[in-house]
A and B are shown apart, each in its own frame.
Chain A
Amino acid sequence: MTKVLGERPKALLDVPLHYCPGCTHGIVHRLVAEVIDELGIEGKTVGVASVGCSVFTYNYFGCDMVQAPHGRAPAVATGVKRARPDNVVFTYQGDGDLAAIGMGETVHAAARGENIVAIFINNAIYGMTGGQMAPTTLPGMVTQTTPYGRDTSVAGNPIRVCELLSSVNGVALAERVTVDCVKNVKAAKRAIKKAFEYQMAGKGYCIIEVVSTCPTNWGMSAGDAIQWLRDNMLPYYPLGVYKDVGEEGKE
């Protein structure tokens, strides 16, 4: 007798993903889809795709999708959620989208306590456009637009989004996770599930920051990228819960 050990989540459509080998988007997509399946909410979920590598999420998730202008996903999601409060609404945004061009929309959606979930992919670089400096690019890190390494006296400092948002009233959950090993993948899924559950309980804005890799634009193999993430990204972006209003709490 055949035993099924794992299946594609139903909320993840059976289409080829366009992501580069070793990119962690695929893992995070799967986790989001598994959570949607487990909560049985695909039929009432609306996802908001942002601009960047993850723009094509609208082709991958089985729920209804809206594609937002660069950085505007929190505003678009606000519109969807205010129009359809019974729907479950999430954004899927990269670091350039969320923390550079969309920082205003992000902070204000958070401050309003919008009942939406932001899945935030932090890989410290603009992937889609070919590897430019992101708001989360580490000091000294070489990118296409910091060819001599990010000089913080010229190019400014990386932004720690979860820490920043943890001070904002309206945020119900701000947690930073990664997907470099099985243990952390499982922890990431728990965080994503909690965020969706919090939204369904009406607790407010939830953000799950996933510290991610970009082997292509980092110029590394997939394995080296994971190791580089552990050695360089995690010390600057420590994993953990930065804000959690808890089961009883509400923002």
Chain B
Amino acid sequence: MAEKVLMKGNEAIAEAAIAAGCRHFFGYPITPQTEVAAYMSKRMPKIGGVYLQAESEVASINMVLGAGAAGVRVMTSTSSPGVSLMSEGISYVAGSDVPCLIVNVERGGPGLGGIQPSQSDYFQATKATGHGDFHMLVFAPSTVQETVDLISDAFDLGDKYRMPTMILSDGLLGQMMEPVVLPEQKEPVDNKDWAAKGHQGKRAHNVVNSLYIEPQVLEDLNKARFEKYKKIIETEQRAEEYLADDADIIIVAFGASSRIAHSAIDMARKQGIKAGLIRPITLWPFPEKIIKKHVDHAKVFLSVEMNMGQMVEDVKLTVESKKPVCFFGRTGGVVPTPKEVLAQIVKLNGGDY
């Protein structure tokens, strides 16, 4: 059994990426993801990897594009405003079918916002990361251990589907320390036959590109990519259920806010209120299948988020107006308390939707 170590969320992200065989990190300083880059800058030179501080997030995501196009396992980490700057590059990454990992340790917005934990980039991560028709696989861990585990999956699935993946963390998960078991070290693999790494005179040239000037060609390509997305929606949805099977009130919450919801549900159960939790682990694809299982028996759904109400739209789309869907959130870096969430549960239990 591997040893448990106490690690800060952000440092665990870095170590897990290295364990997953990532040897290329490009980034730009921003709070609260700081420790990811700092850790990488210490470790990468010692294991023959590349740590490079770019002049901006615009540059760092394009370095990621270049390294990913050259066929290596590559990542960047940033925080909310940084993802805004990267959104151009992420669109090109997606349009060029280049796998890479983007970590967003979210902070409050809009604008410069604040540096405290937030989940207000849900829309950005799942629907509007950049221009054009594309998706990223988005994972939302709720513990440091789960962050570590999902990083390896994110890299592997990114390679499998040739697409960008995102770990949507937040300032709370990034800054907290928890015991983790680190995964076994994987050696970097160099097996991407589509990559631009020099043809060595052995094949026609590889072109990693997102420009298709003929409308029909571009439409066909986008359709093919959406066929791939269809398969991902079918096979990659993930969510954790907690006391959901007999629940009248189902909270849907991801990441940090799901931990708070979890505590509130325990408190509600002690009062005899049948509350339960569905915790999306993949935000895209959204775990519709798991939520739909509970639409018949649940009386009401409550989306708890650290924002003004973003994922609640996907919950509503999934529930299809068959049951009421309510929202409770705190934003701007304010973290809701279990008691606040409990108060919402009690209110809903009284039929006040």
Contact = CB atoms under 8 A, between A and B. Distances in A.
Interface in A90-121: 104-105, 108
In order of increasing CB-CB distance, the 6 nearest A-B pairs are A79-B66, A75-B62, A64-B196, A79-B63, A79-B67, A76-B66
B55 A76 contact: no
Given A43-B198, A78-B52, A87-B198, A66 B62 contact: no
Contact of B196 (A66, A69, A82): A66
Interface residues of A, number: 35
Contact of A67 (B24, B197, B208): B208
A154 interface: no
B32 to A, nearest CB: 24
Interface in B1-49: 24, 26
A138 B197 CA distance: 39
Contact of A63 (B70, B92, B199, B209): B199
Contacts of A87: 70, 197-198
A27 interface: no
B67 A83 contact: yes
Given A75-B54, A104-B56, A65 B66 contact: no
Nearest to B209: A67
Contacts of A78: 52, 59, 63, 66
A171 to B, nearest CB: 16
Nearest to B213: A56
Interface stretch (A44-52, A162-170, A234-242): A44-52
B207 interface: yes
Nearest to B64: A79
B65 interface: yes
Interface residues on B, range: 35 or more
B58 interface: yes
Given A43-B199, A67-B96, A78-B66, A105 B209 contact: no
A222 interface: no
B58 A82 contact: no
A77 interface: yes
A2 B201 CA distance: 29
A218 interface: no
B200 interface: yes
Given A78-B66, A105-B59, A44 B198 contact: yes
Contacts of A49: 209
Interface of B: 24, 26, 50, 52, 54-56, 58-60, 62-72, 74, 88-89, 92, 96, 195-202, 205-211
Contacts, number: 138
B207 A67 contact: yes
Given A79-B63, A83-B72, A105-B62, A46 B196 contact: yes
Nearest to A69: B92
A43 B201 contact: yes
A215 interface: no
Given A66-B196, A72-B59, A104-B59, A79 B209 contact: no
Q: Which of B50, B52, B69, B211 has the most CB of A within 10 A?
A: B69
B70 A84 contact: yes
Nearest to B204: A62
Given A64-B205, A67-B211, A79-B62, 6 more contacts: A67-B207, A67-B208, A72-B65, A78-B66, A83-B71, A83-B197
B55 A108 contact: yes
Contact of B69 (A44, A55, A72, A80): A80
A65 B55 contact: no
A58 B207 contact: yes
20 contacts: A46-B197, A59-B207, A63-B199, A64-B205, A65-B205, A65-B207, A66-B66, A67-B210, A68-B66, A68-B92, A72-B58, A72-B62, A72-B65, A79-B67, A80-B67, A82-B52, A87-B198, A104-B55, A104-B58, A105-B55
Contacts of A69: 62, 65, 88-89, 92
B320 to A, nearest CB: 39
A61 interface: yes
A13 B204 CA distance: 10
Interface string A6-47: 000000010000000000000000000000000000111110
A61 B66 CA distance: 18
Nearest to A18: B213
A212 to B, nearest CB: 22
A79 B69 contact: yes
B65 A68 contact: yes
B203 to A, nearest CB: 9
B60 to A, nearest CB: 8
Given A65-B196, A83-B50, A76 B65 contact: yes
Contacts of B72: 83-84
B209 A58 contact: yes
